[in-house]
Amino acid sequence: MFKKPLFKIVAPLAAASMLLAACSGDEAKNSEGGEITKIVAGTEATYAPFEYLDDKGNVVGLDAQILAAIGEEMGVETEIKNVGWDSMMSQVTTGEIDMGAAAITITDERLETYDFTEPYYEASLLIVTKEDSKIESFEDLKDKKVSVQINTTGHIAAQELQGVASSNILAYENFSVALTEVLNGSSEAAIGDNAVILEYIKNNPDSGLKAIEDDSFEVDYFGFMVKKGNKELLDLLNEGLQKIKDNGKLAEITGTEIE
């Protein structure tokens, strides 16, 4: 029914190896044979454990690790730039970057504009609210102020429940702000991806927050996003992804299996 986005908050994960060099999406192919030698991905690095910044300002997290593992298997350099959620979408379209790597849920609507790899992670939405809240289900949010990350599946779910024009939906550029709004009482709950919410609660046991599951939320699948029609890059990513599925590297990185 609903598909989710992905949010980010600082968490202690192992840094993924990234090669930093100025390169636009159109420069991912070498000038001679057209072979892809480097992939530049965009992300929104406030969504731990999938992407966040380490103390040196490098993008790290599960997506960075997965992309680096694909690059290693395929003999391709990889770089991830923290460009922001909406900017990531537009820069993939314009070719400023080659792909999006930001815990992006594969949806029918997005498939109209972009191409996606095979799924690499299975997720579902959760509700996060204060421990003393009387909210127990998704339906309880019908007339409540709810914070979300803009243009994500959490945002879509809130609109499905309250209506697209609802003034009770507070949409922000990243999920960390949405979560802060719950902490400071500006919203009564937030909707986001399960891994992100659970990671935050685990690393902030005194936050006073709790997570709520609801059967209304369907399972979602994350994929890497490329410009529509970029078959060469899509095939390379899918081949590398299949290799790290087969050799167990993907499960080692994410801690979970996916078909």
Average pLDDT of the chain, as a whole number:
88
pTM of the model: 0.78
Model confidence pLDDT, tens digit, residues 93-108: 999 999 999 999 999 9
End-to-end CA distance of the chain: 21
pLDDT, tens only, 162-177: 999 999 999 999 999 9
3-state secondary structure 13-80: CCCCCCCCCCCCHHHCECCCCCCECEEEEEECCEECCCEEECCCCCEECHHHHHHHHHHHHHCCEEEE
Give the pLDDT confidence of 33-88 residue by residue, as tens digits: 478 999 999 999 999 999 999 999 999 999 999 999 999 999 999 999 999 999 99
Domains defined for the chain, CATH in brackets: 25-122+221-254 (3.40.190.10), 124-212 (3.40.190.10)
